[in-house]
């Protein structure tokens, strides 16, 4: 039967927060192999809820597992799946006159964390700066069409599953050719994800830095909430918050994460305490920090009508293949789609 559990829902929602478009929610069937003694199925008269004896362990297990799977780089698998599902390029009935031709378009699967060394951080910073440098306009005598490098046919799908760039469309999309057909890339969405993940890796390598407040903020709380400070002191430290206890029902915020120095200190503290009461842990600060990093990535990414050369477009394709969760930007929009040759053949009724 279907059951509801806030803990499970929270873990899944947190794992998917970076990859789902706003307003959408993951649908799933969860199978957990547990000792029956660790699950109470009688907490609700209609059996619609369950209670886990080790709820924190279950929550963290679900979050870590989903977080790891969604972070996997699966560009090559998505491209291969699109080719496998394309079928006979000339199979199937012809559409009636005037009838729209339905094409098979493979979207990247819905997609965490790595560390950057000093050299990698500098490389990521240099890449972000290079994307912003103006590109010299093509010479008037330049040929209208450019030939793909001969190396394209010599590179395996494993090395370059998204293929190689052939053109830029209206300053918005990069068109690439791979062995399956045509790849269309939204260059802003793709570069936004690349930049966002680079920011996150750099931040995770350094940790969340705290910045002292000029004027500490006193917050009245319940005794239960105040006691959470004593039992979860390490949580606040890891989140870049310095919080002290002034009395049985009084806390004081002395420092906030540097990226959130202008945030509402009282609201931030109450949000973290609420998470600790319900879930025994809190990702609220990380959510806010990632929101800031997402905004920075959006503003620091290549914009529409930014002209790219073939070398830059191919560099973007390679970065997509190497980046976690590269199937979507950090707002949940797809970054690229695959149109296989069978779909293109059907568009033009080839082979009929």
Does any domain span residue 244?
yes
Does any domain span residue 315?
yes
Averaged pLDDT, groups of 10, the chain, 352 residues long: 82 81 80 87 80 85 85 62 45 40 51 38 44 41 39 57 94 94 94 87 78 93 90 82 91 88 86 80 72 75 85 94 88 91 91 76
Does any domain span residue 140?
yes
Does any domain span residue 269?
yes
For the domain that residue 117 is a member of, what is the CATH number?
A: 3.30.1370.100
pLDDT at 156: 55
pLDDT at 210: 87
**Cut 0.85: pTM above it:** no
Does any domain span residue 81?
no
pLDDT at 73: 59
Strand pairing partners for 185? 174, 336
pLDDT at 337: 94
Secondary structure of residue 113 in the 3-state scheme:
coil
Domain end among 21, 43, 70? 70
Q: Are 186 and 273 found together in one domain?
A: yes
* Segments forming the whole domain that contains residue 296: 110-340
Does any domain span residue 326?
yes
Domain end among 70, 92, 121? 70
Structurally, the chain folds into a number of domains equal to 2
pLDDT at 143: 38
Q: Mark residue 163 as left, alpha or beta (left: phi above 0; alpha: psi -120 to 50; beta: remaining).
A: left
Q: Are 187 and 270 found together in one domain?
A: yes
For the domain that residue 14 is a member of, what is the CATH number?
A: 3.30.230.10
Instruction: Determine contact, residues 219/347, Cβ cutoff 8 Å.
Output: no
Does any domain span residue 189?
yes
Cα dihedral 104→76→24→235 (10° resolution): 180
């Amino acid at each position: 039967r279907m059951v509801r559990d806030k803990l499970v829902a929270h873990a899944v929602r947190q794992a998917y927060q970076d990859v789902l478009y706003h307003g959408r929610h993951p649908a799933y069937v969860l199978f957990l192999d547990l000792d029956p003694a660790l699950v109470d199925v009688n907490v609700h008269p209609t059996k619609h809820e369950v209670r886990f004896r080790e709820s924190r362990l279950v929550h963290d297990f679900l979050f870590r597992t989903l977080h790891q799977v969604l972070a996997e780089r699966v560009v090559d698998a998505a491209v291969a799946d699109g080719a496998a599902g394309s079928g006979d390029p000339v199979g199937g009935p012809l559409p009636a006159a005037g009838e729209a031709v339905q094409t098979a378009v493979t979207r990247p699967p819905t997609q965490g964390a790595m560390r950057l060394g000093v050299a990698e951080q500098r490389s990521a910073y240099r890449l972000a700066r290079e994307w912003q440098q103006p590109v010299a306009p093509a010479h008037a005598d330049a040929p209208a069409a450019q030939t793909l490098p001969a190396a394209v046919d010599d590179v395996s799908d494993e090395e370059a599953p998204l293929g190689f760039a052939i053109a830029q469309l209206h300053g918005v999309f990069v068109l690439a050719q791979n062995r399956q057909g045509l790849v269309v890339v939204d260059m802003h969405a793709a570069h936004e994800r690349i930049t966002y993940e680079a920011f996150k890796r750099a931040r995770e390598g350094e940790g969340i830095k705290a910045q002292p407040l000029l004027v500490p903020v006193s917050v009245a709380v319940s005794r239960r909430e105040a006691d959470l400070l004593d039992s979860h002191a390490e949580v606040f430290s890891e989140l870049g918050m310095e919080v002290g206890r002034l009395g049985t029902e009084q806390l004081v915020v002395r420092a906030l994460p540097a990226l959130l120095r202008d945030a509402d200190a009282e609201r931030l503290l109450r949000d973290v305490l609420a998470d600790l009461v319900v879930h025994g842990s809190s990702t609220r600060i990380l959510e806010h920090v990632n929101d800031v990093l997402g905004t920075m990535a959006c503003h620091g990414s290549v914009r529409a009508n930014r002209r790219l050369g073939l070398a830059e477009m191919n560099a973007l394709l390679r970065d997509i293949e190497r980046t976690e969760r590269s199937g979507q930007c950090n707002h949940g929009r797809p970054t690229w789609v695959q149109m296989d040759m069978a779909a293109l053949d059907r568009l033009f009724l080839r082979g009929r």
